[in-house]
Structure 1
Amino acid sequence: MSKSKIRNDKTCLNCRYVVENRFCPNCGQENTDTRKTFHHLFFHFIEDLTHYENAFWKTIKNLLFKPASLTKEYLSGKRLSYLAPVRLYIFISFITFLLIAIFPSEINSPEKTIEKESTITTKNKSFQNTISKNDSVKKSQTASNEEEEEFQDFGYDSVEQLDSIQKNAPESKKLTDFSYWANRKFQIVKDNNSKGELLEKFISSFTHNLPKVLFVFMPIFAFSLWLFHGKKRWYYFDHGIFTLHYFSFLLLLFLLLFLINKGLTPFSESSLVSFIQILINFIGIGWMFYYFYPAHRRFYGETRFISFIKCSLLFFINFILVSIILLLFAIYTFINLH
C-alpha cells in the first residue's frame, strides 16, 4: 500500500466523489497528494511493475520451485496474490534485455584485434595472386577439378578474387546470382572476422535474440498443447496461460544462469569456483529440461505415464520447431554480420 499522505480535501480528484478513507469508493483512485518526490516516483514505478507487496517474491518463488502452481491459482480465480501472467513475462523480458545489454561484449579484445589484423594481412597477400589466377581462367574453357570445387564452395581467398573470377570466367563456370551473393557474403564475413570472433558474435546474438525467439514461439507452443489435450475441457486460453508461466520460468532461469556465470567468470581461474560454476549450470539446465514434466502433469491432472508420453512428444515436436526458428535467426544474424 502507498505510504503517501492523504489529502485533507475529501473530494476525489478523478470523479469528484466524496472520499471518506484512502481510496475513492466510486472509481478506486487513491486520495493522496499529486506532487511526488523522485524517491516516491522511483519506488512507485517498481511497485507498479512488480505489484510489490509480497506478490512479486511470492510469484518468483512459485514460478521457480512449484511447477504449474501459478497457472492453477490464476485459472481458479486467485489473481491478486500474484503477478498477472502477461505482466510477469513482460517484466522478466525487460530485465533480461536490460541486464544483457549492460554487460560489455569481449569481441573487440586486443588479442582478437591482432588476430584480425593478421587475417587482413593474409587476405592482402593472397589477393596478389588473383591476377595470375584470372589469366588462367581466361586462357582455358575447361577448369580442373580443384577449380570446379572453388566455384562450388566458399574456398576463395578474398572478395576481390571472387568478383574478378565471376566477371572474367566463362558463362558455364560462373555462379548463379544466389550462389554468388552467398559466396560474397560469406567471404566478407570471413575477411573481417576470425573464427573466434564469429563464434562470439553468434553466441552474443543468441543471448540477445532468445527473448524474441521465445515470444515468437509462445503461440505455437500453446497451439501444440491445444492439439494434445481435450478440446471440451481446455480452452486455448488455458494453454496460453500455462505457456506464459512456463516461458517466464525459462527466461528467468536463463537470466539467473547468465548473471551467475558473469559474476563467477572473473574468478574462473580458481578450480573451486570453476567447479561451482559447472555444478550450478548443470543443475540449472537440468531443472530447465525437467521442469516441463511436473508442470504438465500437475496442471493437466494426467497419470505419470500418459503425461510422460505427451511431454516426450511435445518436447520432440517443439524442439524441431524451435530449432527451425533459431536457424532462421542464425541466418538473419549471419546476413547482418560485417
Structure 2
Amino acid sequence: MRALRKTKNCLNCHTPLDEVYNYCPLCGQQNDDKNVSFKELSRDLFENFFSFDSRLAHTFFPFFFKPGELTKKYNEGKRFTYANPIRLYIIVSFFYFFVLNSMMGDLTREFSQAFDTPEADSVKTAIQNEVEFNMDSIKNTPPIMVSLDGDSLAEGDENSWPLKNWQWKLLYEKLNDNSISEQALYDSLKIEDRGAITRLTIKQIIRIYKRDKETLVSEIVQNLSVMMFVLIPVFALLLKLMYARRKTLYVNHLIHTIHLHTFAFLVYGVAIVFVHWIFESEEVHEWIMMITVFTVFIYSFLSFKRVYNQSWKKTVLKYWISSWFYFYILVFAIVIELLISLLIF
C-alpha cells in the first residue's frame, strides 16, 4: 500500500494540517494529494487494484498447489498476508469471461460465414421448398376438431399459439428481406389481439433473427458472468447446510466458495486459450478438456478435505451430494439466464 501524499492544508476545507494528520480533523477528508502525474496514478492503480506485491507472491503457491489452504489461512485471520479473495475473483473472472466472449464471438462469425456460402444457400432453398410444401399440405388437410368444454375448435383457429400456419409462412418468407423493418414485419402478422406473451415472443423472434448475432452472444456471456456472481452465495448456503453441525460461519463458506470458483475460472480460461487459439487438433482439444475437468474436480475435492477436515468417507459423500445439487442449480440458472437474455435483447 502506497504512502499518503500529505498536504499542508486540507484540499476540501483548507484547514491547516500537521504532518501527522492522515485525515482532516474538521471535515474528515483523507489528507492525500490526488493531483499527481499520469505515471504515478497508473502505478497506484496497478498496485492497489491488482495487489502486485508480496501478498500476491504469498498467495500463488497455496492457491495452486495446496487446495483449501488459502481458505483456511484467510478464515483463521491471516488476511493481510494473502490477496483479497474478492479482488482475486474479480481479476480471474474478468479474464475467464473475456476469453469466453472472444471465443464465442469467433465461433459466431465462423458460423455466419459458413451459412453464407453457395452450398449453404442451396440447403436453405431446399429447406424453404420443403417448408412451403408442408405448409400447402397442412392448408389442404381437413381441420382437426378437438372438444373443449362442449365447444369445437379447429386446429389453426384463433386460439392457436403462437402463430397460425399462414403467419409462420409469411414470417419465414420475410425474415431475410432486409428492406422490411422489424416493426413492419411484426405489424404484417396482425397479432394485435393476441396475448401479451404471444406478442412479446414473436417480437423477440424477429428481433433476434434480424439483429447482429455477435451482439446477442456477447450479452449472453455478460449476463452469464452476473449469474455466476449471484450463484456464489447460493453455493455457500448449500455448503452451510451440508456442514450445519459444525457451526461454521456462513462467511467462511463464502470465502471457500469464492476460492473454488476463482480456481475453476482460471483453469477453464487457460483451457479455452489453448483449445481455441493455440492447438488445432481435435484430439488435443479433447485431452485438454478432460484434463481440465479432472483438475477442477480433484482440486475441489481436496479443498473440501482440507477446509472441513473430515474423514475421506464423509468428504466423498458430502462433496458428491453438494456437487450434484449445485449442478442442477447451475443448469436451471443457465436456462433462466438464456431466456432472460433472449427476452431483453
Q: Same fold, TM exceeding 0.5?
A: yes
Q: How far off is 1:179 after superposition?
A: 11
Q: How far off is 1:298 after superposition?
A: 0.7
Aligned to 2:225: 211
Q: How far off is 1:91 after superposition?
A: 2.6
Aligned to 1:112: 115
Q: d(CA) in 2 for partners of 1:336 and 1:279?
A: 37
Deviations 1:46-68 (A, max 9, x none): 21112211323433443232211
Q: 2:239 aligned with 1:225, yes or no?
A: yes
Q: d(CA) in 2 for partners of 1:134 and 1:76?
A: 71
Q: 2:334 aligned with 1:326, yes or no?
A: yes
Q: 2:140 aligned with 1:136, yes or no?
A: yes
Aligned ranges 1:291-306 → 2 under 5 Å: 291-306=299-314
> What amino acid does structure 1 have at the position aligned with 2:229?
F
Aligned to 1:36: 36
Q: 2:273 aligned with 1:264, yes or no?
A: no
Query: Secondary structure of 2:106's match?
Result: coil
Q: 2:74 aligned with 1:66, yes or no?
A: no
Query: Secondary structure of 1:291's match?
Result: helix
Q: d(CA) in 2 for partners of 1:11 and 1:184?
A: 64
Query: Secondary structure of 2:334's match?
Result: helix
* Paired residues of 1:213 and 1:325 also in contact (CA < 8 A): yes
Q: Would the alpha carbon gap of residues 330 and 41 (structure 1) be closer, same or farther in structure 2, given more than 3 Å must change?
A: same
* Paired residues of 1:123 and 1:191 also in contact (CA < 8 A): no
* Paired residues of 1:159 and 1:187 also in contact (CA < 8 A): no
Q: d(CA) in 2 for partners of 1:70 and 1:219?
A: 19
Q: How far off is 1:79 after superposition?
A: 0.9
- Does 311-320 or 101-110 show the bigger shift? 101-110
Q: d(CA) in 1 for partners of 2:3 and 2:120?
A: 58
* Paired residues of 1:56 and 1:82 also in contact (CA < 8 A): yes
- Does 52-61 or 287-296 show the bigger shift? 52-61
TM-score, with length taken from structure 1: 0.68
Aligned ranges 1:14-93 → 2 under 5 Å: 17-19=17-19, 24=22, 34-93=34-93
Q: d(CA) in 1 for partners of 2:216 and 2:137?
A: 34
Q: How far off is 1:77 after superposition?
A: 1.2
TM-score, with length taken from structure 2: 0.67
Q: How far off is 1:235 after superposition?
A: 1.4
Aligned to 2:151: none
Q: Would the alpha carbon gap of residues 77 and 13 (structure 1) be closer, same or farther in structure 2, given more than 3 Å must change?
A: farther
Q: How far off is 1:288 after superposition?
A: 0.9
Q: d(CA) in 1 for partners of 2:10 and 2:57?
A: 32
Aligned to 2:296: 288
> What amino acid does structure 2 have at the position aligned with 1:328?
I
Q: Would the alpha carbon gap of residues 153 and 131 (structure 1) be closer, same or farther in structure 2, given more than 3 Å must change?
A: closer
* Paired residues of 1:226 and 1:236 also in contact (CA < 8 A): yes
Deviations 1:184-226 (A, max 9, x none): 6898699889xxx99x999877755543332121122111111
Deviations 1:293-330 (A, max 9, x none): 11111111111111111111111221122121122223
Q: How far off is 1:70 after superposition?
A: 1.6
* Paired residues of 1:11 and 1:19 also in contact (CA < 8 A): no
Q: Would the alpha carbon gap of residues 125 and 247 (structure 1) be closer, same or farther in structure 2, given more than 3 Å must change?
A: same
Q: d(CA) in 2 for partners of 1:157 and 1:249?
A: 53
Query: Secondary structure of 1:108's match?
Result: helix
| Aligned positions, number | 304
Q: d(CA) in 2 for partners of 1:202 and 1:46?
A: 32
* Paired residues of 1:55 and 1:83 also in contact (CA < 8 A): yes
For the aligned residues, what is the CA RMSD? 4.8
> What amino acid does structure 2 have at the position aligned with 1:218?
I
